[in-house]
Amino acid sequence: MKSVLAIFKREFAAYFATPLAYVFIVIFLFAMGTFTFYIGRFFETGVASLAIFFSYHVWLYLFLVPAIGMRLWAEERKSGTIELLLTLPIPIWASVLGKFLAAWVFTGVALALTFPIWLTVNYLGDPDNGVIVASYVGSFLMAGGYLAISAAISALTSNQVIAFVVSVVICFLFTISGAPLVVDFFKAWAPLALVDTVASFSFMTHFQTIARGVIDLRDIVFFFSLIALFLGINVLIIDQKKAG
Amino acid sequence: MIEIENLTKKFGPIAAVRGIDLKVEKGEVLGFLGPNGAGKSTTMKIIAGYLTPTTGRVRITGIDVEATPQAAQAVLGYLPEGAPAYGDMTPHQFLKFIAEIRGFTGDEAKRRVAEAAQKTELEPVLEQPIDTLSKGFKRRVGLAQAILHDPPVLVMDEPTDGLDPNQKFSVRKLIREMAAEKAIIISTHLLEEVDAICTRAVIIDRGQVVADGTPAELLTRSRHHNAVTLCLPAAQSAGAKEKLKAHSKVRSIEDGGEENGFVTFTAFARGPELLIEDISAMAANEKWDVKQLYAEAGRLDEVFRSLTTSDSDRARESIEGTAA
């Protein structure tokens, strides 16, 4: 556990040692604002709720989270530091977990910095703050899911662009797997159980449930098991590469 | 301290390491020589637990690297090829991170970091980002990282690559100072380095050990071993060459060129007996006006070239090997 903490601290500090953190946070907040106020017409709706704000998180994360995740391993491979990291006396899972947690907390920081909109909506009206808290939790969990996928993809390559593009595609599949487009495609030929399974992987569905203010244990378990699954895959990929 | 048994490593159809057996004891500094792509770095990566061997095993102070990598890595100091380090950190932050990972805390960690920085002469740049440092300092950051926990076994891939002569000197001094207490493997392209710090030299080619001995032993394999080089006035040289050719211990004579009326040439020895005594006696008898006369110890680059193959030969061979 100590080594996880050491990796976490190094990784987290690395975000702020370069312009990466500041650029990311500024763009994240700017994009959130643009979507919420201009495209979502937040003020015109006249409703004291952040539902509009949260509805865009899925799509923003789809591009912004792989941008954070792509460097996690690809950069280490490119610069050769992965050889240093993997020859230090710590297990692979500790590196995987430490890196993931640092990136997740970092996206959490970016998410937390959207707090002015929460203050605004409270100033203007009387929103259901319980729903908002649940939505923030859901949003954070969803970011973790995207991040775990991106980290595992990043471990496969030393090319960050490839890591980014492949991550976006896979994250997209997970996002829309509950949408009619996908469900109809499977419905035509697959047994109902498979259709349900595919649909149940949808980030959108799970997030929307939480964002309605219903913190269902199943949704929480879904995101945590998805994160655990992809972190496990991440460990396997790193270990597999040792065999050359 | 380091035991390597029947090590092989294949990358797809290409065998990078083909059956290496080595034992390195405490107090030894083993110089790993070989052309690029001979399998030096691959072998070192396997020792460090970064790559898994296809067959064979490695033990460090008796600990099996593949079975218990963390225990083995704890007693190993490893400098990877190119001395990678996190460029956004300063050497100070980086070494603190390594100390933390290696389980040192508080004052102990501080002391270790300071000691490693002092040994590698990093103090002036401790607070500058590693990305902004010169090649020499970067290399020494890697070195500091490897010796921070004072490991009994050190494996360093080209520790002096990219250093200027002064830096090379101080790194070699550091390695010599640590040598008595540790088992050390270094890889290098620089044959002078083997002379300077290694107690033992191993030449590998195409994934196999082709020579293993002290640097002096390897030199005896050189054509120049025991050879004598003379420099005489041009007028005397023809006669001298005739005399030398007739000598029973001389195998052949090779011209080294003429300059300012003096001719330089080298007499190669037929066997292991010393040649210099006979030739200097002959020079005195014949009253040659000798300008220079010296015995050659042998040339490592010659041994190296005679035992190893060029990279283009190897590439051709491996392609043919795959086709067949």
DSSP code string of B70-125: HHHHHTEEEE-TT----TTS-HHHHHHHHHHHTT--HHHHHHHHHHHHHHTT-GGG
Residue B189 is classified by DSSP as S
Chain position carrying tokens 């808290």? A133
What span, in angstroms and rounded, lies between the C-alpha atoms of A185 and B72?
52
Contact, B81 vs B92, CB < 8 A? no
Percent of chain B with pLDDT over 70: 95
Residue A113 is classified by DSSP as T
State yes or no: pLDDT of B323 exceeds 50. no
Contact, A91 vs A169, CB < 8 A? no
Q: Which of B60, B86, B105, B157 to mutate to test the interface with A (most CBs of A within 10 A)?
A: B86
Diameter of chain A measured on Cα atoms? 60
Residue B190 contacts by C-beta under 8 Å, 6 or more apart in sequence? Answer: B160
Q: What is the mean pLDDT of residues B290-304?
A: 80
Q: What is the mean pLDDT of residues B83-107?
A: 94
Element (H, E) at B21: strand B14-24
What span, in angstroms and rounded, lies between the C-alpha atoms of B190 and B217?
18
Q: What is the mean pLDDT of residues B212-232?
A: 82
> What pLDDT sits at residue B324?
40
> What pLDDT sits at residue B286?
79
Q: Torsions phi, psi of B155, nearest 5? A: -125, 120
Contact, B28 vs B3, CB < 8 A? no
Which of A71-85, B80-94, B161-175, B234-248 is predicted with the least confidence, judged by mean pLDDT?
B234-248
Bridge partners for B187 per DSSP: B32, B157
CB neighbourhood size of A63 (10 A): 15
Greater model confidence, B220 or A221 = A221
Q: What is the mean pLDDT of residues A177-183?
A: 78
Which pLDDT band, with edges at 50, 70 and 90, does A29 fall under?
very high
Diameter of chain B measured on Cα atoms? 77
Contact, B296 vs B227, CB < 8 A? yes
Give per-residue burial for B236-275: e unless 16+ CB within 10 Å, then b.
Answer: bbeebbebbeeeebbeebeeeeeeeebbbbbbbbeeeeeb
Per CB-CB distance under 8 Å, the chain A contacts of B70 are: 89-91
Boundaries of every domain in chain B? 2-219, 228-296
**3.90.1010.10, 1.10.3720.10, 3.40.462.20, 3.40.50.300: CATH of B2-219:** 3.40.50.300
The full DSSP string for B219-270 is HTTSTTTT-EEEEEEHHHHHHHHHHHHHSTTEEEEEEEEEETTEEEEEEEES
Q: Which of A2, A10, A78 to mutate to test the interface with B (most CBs of B within 10 A)?
A: A10
CA angle A158, A163, A168 (to 5 degrees): 180
A13 and B101 in contact by Cβ < 8 A? no
Among A110-119, A194-203, B280-289, B300-309, top mean pLDDT goes to A110-119
Which of A11-15, B176-180, B313-317 is predicted with the least confidence, judged by mean pLDDT?
B313-317
| Helices first, then strands: H and E counts in chain B | 12, 14
CATH architecture of B228-296: 2-Layer Sandwich (3.30)
State yes or no: pLDDT of A206 exceeds 90. no
State yes or no: pLDDT of B320 exceeds 60. no
Q: Does B119 touch chain A (CB under 8 A)?
A: no
Among A221-230, B155-164, B212-221, top mean pLDDT goes to A221-230
Q: Does B127 touch chain A (CB under 8 A)?
A: no
Greater model confidence, B261 or B156 = B156
Q: What is the mean pLDDT of residues A98-113?
A: 95
A81 and B103 in contact by Cβ < 8 A? no
What span, in angstroms and rounded, lies between the C-alpha atoms of A201 and A174?
6
Return the amino acid letter for A188.
A
Contact, B144 vs B91, CB < 8 A? yes
**pTM, to two decimals:** 0.86
> What pLDDT sits at residue B311?
65
Question: Nearest-CA residue of chain B relative to A16?
Answer: B88
CB neighbourhood size of A206 (10 A): 24
Contact, B244 vs B253, CB < 8 A? yes
Give the distance from residue A167's alpha carbon to the nearest chain B alpha carbon, in angstroms. Answer: 25
> What pLDDT sits at residue B266?
85
B residues 1-60 closer than 8 Å to A (CB): 9-11, 45, 48-52
What span, in angstroms and rounded, lies between the C-alpha atoms of B129 and B87?
6
Encoded tokens for A180? 């009619």
State yes or no: pLDDT of B122 exceeds 50. yes
Our measurement of the distance from residue B261's CA atom to the centroid of its chain's CA atoms, rounded to an integer in Å, reads: 40
Encoded tokens for A168? 């976006």
Element (H, E) at B196: helix B191-197
Mean pLDDT of chain B: 87
Residue A119 contacts by C-beta under 8 Å, 6 or more apart in sequence? Answer: none
> What pLDDT sits at residue A76?
93
> What pLDDT sits at residue A201?
81
Which pLDDT band, with edges at 50, 70 and 90, does B261 fall under?
confident
> What pLDDT sits at residue B310?
67
Percent of chain A with pLDDT over 90: 53
Which pLDDT band, with edges at 50, 70 and 90, does B319 fall under?
low
